[in-house]
Amino acid sequence: MENLIQNSQWLISKTSLDLVRGVPLKINWEWRLNGITGARGCGKTTRLLQQARIWQQQGLKVLYITLDDFYFSTHRLFDVASTFSKTGGQYLLVDEVHKYEGWSKELKNIYDLLPDLKVTFTGSSIIQITEQDADLSRRALMYQLPGLSFREYLQLAHGIKVSPVELNDLLNKHENWTTEIIQQFRPLAFWNLYLTRGYFPLLAEKDRDYLLTVLQLLKYIIEVDFPYINGYQAGYSQKIQAIMRIISQAPPFIPNISKLAEQVGITRNTMVNYLHYMDKALLTKNLFYPGHSISHLQKPDKVLLSNPNLYYALAEEKADKGSLRESAFVSMLSHIYDVHLHVSADFSIGDYCFEIGGRKKGKHQIEGMQNAFVIKDDIETGMGNIIPLWAFGFLY
């Protein structure tokens, strides 16, 4: 236990507070059990350590632990939590819960039996988190930490600080808002850098080969996390990688499930099931028209990779421009809003609909429609219902 405390103190003291990220839905840190999920590499550990440092600076008693520590091969999480609570501990931050067998049951017991202790846990294997064997739904508030927004990327990589904007303000006041932005800096000078290698906080490690690391993360997710899927067949990792490469080189992907299954050598039902879990693992984003049921056996109406960096990592110069733009738009909004496909335009969010395209994109798809917008890439400012794509990178 003493070593755990020393390791916690050392890690917290080394953590920078230069960019303290929020999540699109603000975390209620005073709730007794919070869970933070997110893609591998999106910064969950850093965010826990930052929160620990903030609390320590306020004089609060905090312990950060990671469950892949050798200590937990012979010690129980509950016992550590109990000892910490008895000695006046207030906040317990538990990283990598999926590395610990029975984690959900022990968190349930901590919640039920240690009412003075506030616990926040993280897990990178979203498949294992969602397949948990004890019901935490009545106890834990769950949040998802996305990758960096364009706004966060600018601050982390270039020291440019801009406050986030609300969607309604952006849609209704974008002309004034974008004008104020370009008086401070030129967004298009950084936009393609963000699309290529700005989504994951890996960019803070200057000597790292960014896109190679992204490929390694993808391979790790497929080889380590997917075997937890019920009925997953060993040796299918190459097939899932093949599916992702096909999606990365295609125009905005409307899947022919039978053809795709035949192409990679699996059954149709297996293909639908794997597309479901690829979405759960934040490798892809499955999109549906409003009213369509979402289940393991419901084929998605469109599939995009979950963020533009994946297109560059998997397809390089073969990445489809239209898919990149749609992936950028969806990745910037889907963490906050329910994004659906639209029968006339590309996407809908509530009463709004959006058509995505390049500088020369026309307005005929949304002609005569209310609350309809054309979102254009490669433009610095818009006018009326035409808005630059980069502007949606400031929503969080």
pLDDT in tens, 299-320: 999 999 999 999 999 997 888 9
Give the end of a domain, one of 126, 144, 162: 144
| Nearest alpha-carbon partner for 237 in 299, 283, 306 | 283
Does one domain contain both 251 and 318? yes
CA–CA separation, 30 and 91 (whole Å):
9
Give pLDDT, residue 125. Answer: 66
Same domain, 94 and 70: yes
186 in the same domain as 121: no
Do 52 and 77 belong to one domain? yes
Q: Are residues 158 and 124 in the same domain?
A: no
The domain of 267 spans 152-394
Q: Are residues 116 and 169 in the same domain?
A: no
Domain CATH code at residue 121: 3.40.50.300
**Is 201 found in the same domain as 66?**
no
Say if residue 206 is in the same domain as residue 126: no
Residues 6+ apart with CB under 8 A from 238: none
The verdict on 353 and 270 lying in the same domain is yes
- pLDDT of amino acid 15: 95
Considering the domain architecture, whether residues 240 and 360 belong to the same structural domain is answered as yes
**End-of-domain residue from the set 118, 144, 170:** 144
Q: How many CB atoms lie within 10 A of CB 392?
A: 23
Contact call for residues 225 and 218 (beta carbons, < 8 A): no
- C-alpha 320/C-alpha 290 separation (Å) is 26
| Contacts of residue 394, Cβ cutoff 8 Å, sequence gap at least 6 | 149, 150, 151, 162, 164, 165, 170
Note whether 127 and 14 are same-domain residues: yes
Find the helix or strand (DSSP H, E) in which 154 lies.
Answer: helix 150-158
Distance of CA 53 to the CA centre of its chain: 23
Residue 352 CA: distances (Å) to CA of 175, 341, 349, 378, 383:
18, 11, 5, 22, 17
Tens-binned pLDDT, residue by residue, of the chain (396 aa):
899 999 999 999 999 998 898 776 689 999 999 999 988 889 999 999 999 999 999 999 999 999 999 999 999 999 999 999 999 999 999 999 988 888 999 999 999 999 999 999 998 766 667 655 556 778 999 898 999 999 999 999 999 999 999 999 999 999 999 999 999 999 999 999 999 999 999 876 776 799 999 999 999 999 988 887 877 877 789 999 999 999 999 898 898 999 999 999 999 989 998 899 999 899 999 999 997 666 556 899 999 999 999 999 999 788 899 999 999 999 999 999 999 999 999 999 999 999 999 999 998 889 889 999 999 999 999 999 999 999 999 999
- Show the DSSP H helices in 18-102 as ranges: 44-57, 77-86
Q: With CA atoms as reference, report the closest residue to 286 among 254, 329, 238.
A: 254
Structural domain count, the chain: 2
Domain limit, last residue, from 112, 128, 144: 144
Is the same domain home to 183 and 138? no
Over residues 1-20, the pLDDT tens digits come to 899 999 999 999 999 998 89
Beta strand pairing status for 386-388 and 372-376? parallel
DSSP 8-state code for residue 158: H
Global pTM value: 0.89
